[in-house]
Structure 1
Amino acid sequence: MNAKFKELDCNTDILLIQKDTFTLNRFKELMSKKLAENLNKRPEGTTGRINPIFFSLFSDFSIGEVNIRAFESKWIFPSQGIDCHLLKIGSQGWQKGKLRIEASLSWATSTGYYTIEVIKLEFCPDEPAEPESILDDIRQSEEYKNLTNNT
């Protein structure tokens, strides 16, 4: 089975990861802060600016009981997703699946620090809520959307 991750767009939906719960918006905030902290770490006893080559400072870290591993030069992580449950506003209950995170990185030359923003959270349910149609991919394509908007 090929996992299909879809973007989560409602910041008030709830994530349950291990035994911690977060709104999507709060999870993005915490993740951005923790990634920036890890990336901007300086070795003990050093001062001065960080060299932007040090992408290797992405490392294992955790938010609550959630352990995260970020990968050098790979801004969608982890590729296989984090086990979680999602509670969408208006749904009948929790949906089990995988969470993937996409972040953007920028270097502030004025401060010598990285800033990181989690720009997208994606979810792949373990079991689809409804059977998928072969036409779903076509309906999601930009060409189809443009075609239907022009009629």
Structure 2
Amino acid sequence: MEDGFKQIECNDGDILDFGGNTYKIAKFKRAIDASFNATIEYKLNQELSSKGIHIKESPKGNWFQKGTDCEILTLGSQSWKKGKVKVKISVEFYIEEEDIQITNSNNSEITEPESPLDDLRRMIQE
């Protein structure tokens, strides 16, 4: 993402705060999943149709939970494969990148941090 933000990985136990209202990521994702109902599915079909993608609506069709019947022909495959296409929405969190302060030092020598193995090496050499 642009504008000085970078994506980080979120765990189900992480907490989001929306102006004083806090929620675990797991609860937030469950609420979003539950929000994808027949009304949103109908609107999605309308939007796809307006973009020239016409899907046969079937009683089993369900974009968000069960999937919608279709077939796929992949590169290198000899035949079509039957299956379902399912729409998944991901929740991503982007943090504002902290400015990295570079300090100039009169000492141009670069020193490596001491390794925990240095003590063992010294003992072996003695």
Q: Place the TM-score, normalised by the shorter chain, in its bin.
A: 0.3 to 0.5
Higher-strand-fraction structure: 1
TM-score (norm 1): 0.35
- Pair member with larger Rg: 2
